[in-house]
């Protein structure tokens, strides 16, 4: 398990709460559990707010100088060589958080190394593919493309 903790800053929000103060933040990566994801947790000391983001999306955000990356619930961009902004959207509202870019870059580097050493990324892709194909009709690949096998035919 790879963990990095630091203080983020709220740049803006449509939800009740302070703006500008430090927000204790934890990034967690489990190279054996879900090697393609990063868990981000924010806390006010009482409540923990968890989010899960694709590791590659976080990497793209960190390297996206002045260009917004991502869609749906989490988007972001590198604001400078020092800071990254992530926008989190939920049914309750939207919050923009600023994080230290260098700490995220170092964390991501560590996650890629740990995953590579364990072969976790390939296992995750194979498991996702197996889940996707489970329960679907069997297919046979031929030079003509994918042909579904029909019951009772050879």
| pLDDT single digits (tens) 2-34 | 999 999 999 988 987 767 788 999 999 998 888
Beta carbons within 10 angstroms of residue 112's beta carbon: 17
| Percent of the chain whose predicted confidence (pLDDT) is above 90 | 47
Distance set, CA 152 to CA 136, 147, 149 (Å): 17, 15, 9
pTM score above 0.85: no
The number of angstroms, rounded, from the C-alpha of 134 to the middle of its chain's C-alpha atoms is 25
Asked if pLDDT for residue 83 goes beyond 60, the answer is yes
Higher pLDDT, 142 or 118: 118
Q: How far apart are CA 101 and CA 117, in angstroms?
A: 25
Q: What is the mean pLDDT of residues 109-126?
A: 73
User: What would the DSSP string read from start to end of 19-66?
Assistant: SSSEEEEEEEE-TTT-TTEEEEEEESSS-EEEEEEEHHHHHHHHT-TT
Domains plus CATH for the chain?
2-134 (2.30.31.20)
Higher pLDDT, 65 or 8: 8
Q: What is the mean pLDDT of residues 25-46?
A: 91
Q: How far apart are CA 59 and CA 48, in angstroms?
A: 24
Residues 6+ apart with CB under 8 A from 27: 3, 4, 5, 38, 39, 40, 104, 107
Task: Give residue 129's pLDDT band: very low, low, confident or very high (50, 70, 90).
Answer: low
> How high is the pLDDT of residue 119?
64
Asked if pLDDT for residue 139 goes beyond 60, the answer is no
Q: How far apart are CA 108 and CA 122, in angstroms?
A: 17
> How high is the pLDDT of residue 2?
93
């Amino acid at each position: 398990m790879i963990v990095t903790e630091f203080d983020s800053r709220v740049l803006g929000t449509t939800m009740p709460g302070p703006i500008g103060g430090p927000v204790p933040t934890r990034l967690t990566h489990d190279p054996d559990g879900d090697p393609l994801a990063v868990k981000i947790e924010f806390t006010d000391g009482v409540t923990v707010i968890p989010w899960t983001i694709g590791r590659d999306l976080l990497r793209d955000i960190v390297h996206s100088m002045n260009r917004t990356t991502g869609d749906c619930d989490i988007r972001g961009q590198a604001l400078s060589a020092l800071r990254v902004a992530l926008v989190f959207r939920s049914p309750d509202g939207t919050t923009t958080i600023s994080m230290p870019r260098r700490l995220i870059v170092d964390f991501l580097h560590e996650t890629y190394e740990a995953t590579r050493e364990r072969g976790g990324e390939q296992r995750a892709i194979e498991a996702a593919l197996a889940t996707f194909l489970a329960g679907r009709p069997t297919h046979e690949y031929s030079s003509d493309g994918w042909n579904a096998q029909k019951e009772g035919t050879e």
